[in-house]
Amino acid sequence: MKVAGLFAGIGGLERGLETAGHETALLCEIWEPARAVLAAHLPDVPCENDVRDLTSLPGDVELLVGGFPCQDLSQAGRTAGIRGAKSGLVGEVFRLLDDRRVPWVVLENVSFMLQLDRGRGMLTLIEAFEERGYRWAYRVVNTMAYLPQRRERVLFVATTTDVDPASVVLVDEVEPSIPETDLDARAHGFYWTEGLRGLGWAPDAVPTLKNGSTVGIASPPAILMPNGNVVTPDIRDAERLQGFPTDWTRPAESVGRASLRWSLVGNAVSVPVAGWLGSRLTRPGNYQAARDVPLPKNGRWPKAARFDGTSRHGVSIGAFPTWQDRLPLASFLNFEGKPLSARATRGFLSRTERASLRFADGFQDRLREHLARMEAPTEGRELEFAVAAE
């Protein structure tokens, strides 16, 4: 299908769909660093600036996609809801669909949108599609199905065709092979900015890569390596953890600070997840209605649901369409990480010591050992890291 990508970011959805044979015909992205990335990698595709200025879609577009802004939906953001100043831009999608009902629509966003404001935002989205004659299905999918990053996102598929959207997004499921915590054998990702009320802990993976800040404040996770070192990953490995080639976001440095690349990567759609969806758009499966379950009565939305044209149903299905073999996280990383600073480590440890949370046995001890190395004289610290690396 010919694809129009709104809120395109650095093209994760579009790149994934292209691996499944779809063709990007139009892009729309307002942020200059992201536009620089798109221009470098998709130079022949027209890229509009502001979705609000886009009057119509090309007549040959069959699939409209968009990872619409999540700042007002994210649990880490403002949680203003789908009518917030940023996330409310999804209304532009419906303005364009009112001009021409594109047969297929795919939207992507954070899973927190399902429970935000007791589900009112999701209901607004769903009702808008139903009023326009679309059937829909959605599902939370975890990037860990493909890569060592724990990242849950909602994939929402709507169509006016005879194809059941449930046969696209609700047909593949496997049991994941998520490893147990083992500090001696595996790398473990966590967010060093947390530690008081929560901890984004991920054995043999990193927790969700975040968008950082549009003013260039990077927000990488930390990784406790099996040798006891604590590092933050290189941006090039962060790109790979989203399924992009190394240095995919480097063109952004031509128009902004290098640290903005973290925002670009954190905002992106994981490429292999989009690739799976693209393959199912090409070759739908066979949805089994036995998966249908009643929708919750509290207004909050389950992790998967569908509308068959008459009734809405919850769906019993997990977040893993597949489980691809992958290297252990410690081996996956191609570039030397930056040691977590003494200040960051000290602050994190202070929070964990005041928290009532339970941590893996030995985790805090290894953080204290890392802090001791970071506070040692420079020559000694470099020697200790060199020995540990060996």
Which DSSP helix (H) or strand (E) runs through 231? strand 230-232
Helix axes 260-267, 32-41, angle to 10 degrees: 70
The CA-to-CA distance between both ends of the chain, in Å, stands at 50
SS3 state at 306: strand
What residues act catalytically? Answer: 70
At 79, the amino acid letter reads: T
Which of 136, 141, 330 lies closest to 225 in space, CA to CA? 330
Which of 307, 349, 308 lies closest to 194 in space, CA to CA? 349
Distance, CA of 277 to CA of 364 (rounded, Å): 40
What's the residue count for the chain?
390
Asked if 153 contacts 109 with a C-beta cutoff of 8 angstroms, the reply is yes
SS3 state at 138: strand
SS3 state at 345: helix
Query: In degrees, to the nearest 5, what angle opens at C-alpha 333 toward C-alphas 243 and 342?
Result: 120
Residue 206's DSSP bridge partners are 149
